[in-house]
Amino acid sequence: MNKFSRLFLSGLSTSLLLALSYVASASVVITGTRVIYPSDAREVSVKLSNKGKKPVLIQSWLDDGDVKAKPETIHVPFILTPPINRVEPDKSQTLRISYTGKPLSADRESIYWLNVLEIPAKNPLLKDSNLLQMAFRSRIKFFFRPVGLKGNANDAAQEIVWKRKGQQLIANNPTPYYISLTSIVINDKNTEADTIAPFSEASFTAAANPGDKIKVNYINDYGASISVDAQVN
């Protein structure tokens, strides 16, 4: 990251700490709720749109899972351009992301996160006040998907094997895909759930017995919320 980028973030942090109050109004919309990067693609693009009435400054970067990591300390096998840009009202900007070729797992997906930080233009009416227009940060999942993986990512949730272990409900993901669960419903009781990594397990504190029917809610590649029925083994 260049000197301007570092100063930009440093100045932003200082301003936020000194603020006594703020004016909040998010304007930037990301097209899609996740990004899929097929391993054989030259690049992928993400559209950002300014739906507000004022220009905004946008900084974008990828991270590998640490939400607190500073952009200048992050090393990921992707190049994102432009990292910083200004978007006028009712205009859009396309981010282009390309893979550097650094070896990643070929038998399963890898997950990263796309960050979009929106800085509203300074309001001249706030010049002599303690008000500060807040920055807004959006963060969405970014999946690197090797070509040739078995099965279909959108059907992966149906492959989960559910079993009881003590007081825990165990979900085993036998697929090479990340499964973005949102919740599971057992006996009309809703339990929050999270993403399950490829070839791994996740546990939930939920009262379930072998033979119980459960409803599994998850998000597919298109950002749609899907429900499937399953049974505890």
Which residue from 111, 117, 142 is spatially nearest to 60, judged by alpha carbons?
A: 117
Domain C-terminal end among 145, 179, 206: 145
pLDDT on residue 16:
41
pLDDT on residue 207:
83
Q: Is residue 2 part of a domain?
A: no
- The verdict on 170 and 87 lying in the same domain is no
Q: Mark the ranges of the chain whose per-residue pLDDT is less than 50.
A: 1-24
Which residues span the domain enclosing 38? 11-145
- Using DSSP bridges, classify how beta strands 131-133 and 21-23 pair: parallel, antiparallel or unpaired: parallel
Contacts of residue 141, defined as CB under 8 A and 6 or more positions apart, other chains included, come to: 33, 34, 35, 111, 112, 113, 114, 178, 180, 195
- The verdict on 171 and 138 lying in the same domain is no
User: Which residues does residue 217 pair with via DSSP β-bridges, in sequence order?
Assistant: 183, 227
- Give the span between the Cα atoms of 195 and 148, in whole angstroms: 22
Q: Is residue 1 part of a domain?
A: no
pLDDT on residue 193:
96
- The verdict on 160 and 140 lying in the same domain is no
- The verdict on 106 and 199 lying in the same domain is no
What pTM was computed for the model? Answer: 0.85
The pLDDT tens digits of the residues spanning 158-201 come to 999 999 998 899 999 999 999 999 999 998 899 999 999 999 99
Provide the domain count of the chain.
2
Q: In angstroms, what CA-CA distances link 24 with 27, 118, 129, 133, 175?
A: 10, 11, 15, 6, 42
- The verdict on 67 and 129 lying in the same domain is yes
Q: In angstroms, what CA-CA distances link 136 with 24, 52, 67?
A: 8, 13, 14
Residue 211 sits in a domain whose CATH number is 2.60.40.10
- The verdict on 131 and 185 lying in the same domain is no
- The verdict on 22 and 93 lying in the same domain is yes
104 φ, ψ to 5°?
A: -125, 165
pLDDT on residue 125:
59
